[in-house]
Amino acid sequence: MRRNRRVKILATLGPSSSEPEVIEKLYRAGADVFRINMSHTDHDRLKMLVERIRSVEEKVGRPIGILADLQGPKLRVGTFANGPVMLENGARFVLDADKTPGGQDRVHLPHPEILKALEPGHRLLLDDGKIQLKVIDCSAQRAETEVIVGGKLSDRKGVSVPDSEIATSAMTDKDRKDLVAALAQNVDWIALSFVQRPDDIAEVRKVVRGQAGILAKIEKPQAIGRLHEIIELSDAIMVARGDLGVEMPLEQVPGLQKQITRACRKAGKPVVIATQMLESMITAPVPTRAEVSDVATAVFEGADAVMLSAESAAGDFPEEAVATMDKIAREVEQDPHYRTIIDAQRTEPEATGADAISAAARQIAETLRLAAVVCYTTSGATALRASRERPTSPIIVLSPVVQTARRLALAWGLHCVAGDDVANEDDMIDRACRVAFEEAHAKPGQRIIVTAGVPFGTPGSTNLLRIAFVGSDGQGGL
């Protein structure tokens, strides 16, 4: 079963999409990777969902990626003694270390790390940015603020501190337990929320030890300032536009989306565009025109994947949401302007053998109009370099490691096939031709180009490039 598009679709599972038959419908509608949100999932449910996804995978015969999304630190104010309070513009309001229930003039802030990080002039955003405070005076015990944008404030509303770098880990105790549980279930990707600095990635990598890919969610201004370091240390990036739009001016988010997408393309790391892509489809069977345009923009820009959150997890039309995203992506990729934009963003290959071979394979495939680019890979590195090139020919990935094939389901244009290891170079060429033929990417008499690393099984050693004819029986020949 092959997709007629290059961009991938990441669908979140939830109350609307936990049953095996619904998961299968979402896959057949176009979902390539399933996201499990650990904010709403205990370990028993995680195990159940993974088993159901793997059951669907076995039924459809295609590798399916699974992403476990860690909750991250949830910063909230305390409680109020007499119910919600109304904060008026220009009023003074104090957040402090006193655990007593709050009132009209103050509230407990149960996060000493925030109080230590604040400085005069810093902003505090409460309740998803609806209320904005500016720090006038502060200490390690209290912060006196002026209400810039007022409103009703009630118990345990969220707190964002866009101007302050908080000296705390991106992982909570809950996250550490969830991470261990997710690795025990052999998920393919771990998403780390509220990344501020490269050290946050390094901390997770010590636990993961190569068992899964690490995806850093960019949703804090501090991460933007160190974006290139974070991309370098991560295996993939997510532009989490919801929280990013709370902590930064909304009008800056589209530009940042383009900046992050292009930086990831240059680095050869998959990038996912997420949040509110088809938000109205939570309750409606069709999206708004603006949402269609939003998804199309991400596809035009060359994002590796676009994501559905509540639309597929808790909405009334999960299957329709995936199918709609699939239709938008296919239409964009057939647009005459699509190739122009994708090709214009191509950067020079890095000075490595893998990059040089991948760039040459793309150029040869386009010059000779070859039916497919086939990558034989154990670690996935060869395939990611091929994806970075964004060739016009389909990219088929052959891997003897099913975990590699599943992980690569997130990357642009990769049609992954897991199978037995190859005995030698001729065996690899035969298998590449046969798979290209069986998966309807190449017809008898057409040619394909194959890249691999020799000796086989040595990660990062891409050094082989071969052109082969597809025979009448699907076998290969030079």
From residue 465, alpha-carbon distances to 53, 375, 391 in Å are 35, 10, 15
Helix axes of 173-184 and 43-60: crossing angle, nearest 10 degrees: 30
Lookup: tokens for 256? 């940042």
Is beta strand 414-418 parallel, antiparallel or unpaired with respect to 395-399?
parallel
Q: Which helix (H) or strand (E) holds 448?
A: strand 447-453
Helix (H, G, I), strand (E, B) or coil at 33: strand
User: Hey, which residues does 147 pair with through a beta bridge?
Assistant: 133
Helix axes of 289-300 and 318-333: crossing angle, nearest 10 degrees: 50
Q: Is 244 exposed, middle or buried (0-12, 13-18, 19+ CB in 10 A)?
A: buried
Lookup: tokens for 2? 């092959």
From residue 30, alpha-carbon distances to 51, 306, 324 in Å are 20, 11, 9
Cβ contacts of 362 within 8 Å, gap of 6 or more = 373, 386, 389, 390, 391, 393
Residue pair 57/179 in contact by the 8 Å Cβ criterion: no
How many Å apart are CA 197 and CA 316, to the nearest integer? 38
Annotated active-site residue 25? The verdict is no
How many Å apart are CA 123 and CA 110, to the nearest integer? 17
Q: State the DSSP string of 309-367.
A: SHHHHT-S-HHHHHHHHHHHHHHHHTSHHHHHHHHHT--PPPSSHHHHHHHHHHHHHHH
Annotated active-site residue 265? The verdict is no
Per the residue annotation, which of 47, 54, 74, 76 is the catalytic one?
76
Amino acid letter, 316: D
Lookup: tokens for 14? 């939830």
Per the residue annotation, which of 5, 6, 35, 241 is the catalytic one?
35
Q: Which residue has the tokens 């199918």?
A: 323
Per the residue annotation, which of 52, 217, 269, 388 is the catalytic one?
217
Helix (H, G, I), strand (E, B) or coil at 259: helix
Closest of 198, 215, 195, 203 to residue 176, by C-alpha: 203
Per the residue annotation, which of 12, 41, 168, 275 is the catalytic one?
275
List active site positions: 35, 76, 217, 275
